[in-house]
Amino acid sequence: MKKPQPSHVNLKSFGEFNKYIMGLGAAAFLYFDKFELSGYAAIRTAGTVFSALAVIIGIITMSALGRIHGEEIDYELEKDHSKLFLFKFVSRALVVELIALLFAMVLAGSLSLIKIWK
């Protein structure tokens, strides 16, 4: 028998997670901007785009989180459709933000390995 998943979510945790992902995205953006290795422009450009995307999505997510009143939401019992829509938007935006950061980190790691092996 499958255990039911809780439907109660702390929005403050979402905000903290978003803040950390944005900070890592900004750091990755600076890494790609300051990376000094001739060539590999495509990898640097893609890394810059992915890290900037993580930061931009984070800003949009902060705006959406600011529109949800309260610190917690129970999405199974919530009656306000706009609040529920914003919660679903924030949840999906955080996933996309994390994937963009993951791609940026993979590209940053590959650039570092190229520099070591060169």
Q: Map out the domains of the chain as residue ranges.
A: 9-117
Tell me the whole-structure pTM to 2 decimals: 0.85
| Residue 100: predicted pLDDT | 96
pLDDT of residue 1: 62
99-105 own/partner pairs: CB under 8 Å, 24+ apart: 100/25, 100/50, 100/51, 100/53, 100/54, 100/57, 101/21, 101/24, 101/25, 101/28, 101/50, 101/51, 101/54, 103/46, 103/50, 104/25, 104/28, 104/32, 104/47, 104/50, 104/51, 104/54, 105/24, 105/28
Task: State what percent of residues in the chain have pLDDT above 90.
Answer: 46
Average pLDDT over residues 96-108: 96
In this prediction, residue 4 carries a pLDDT of: 67
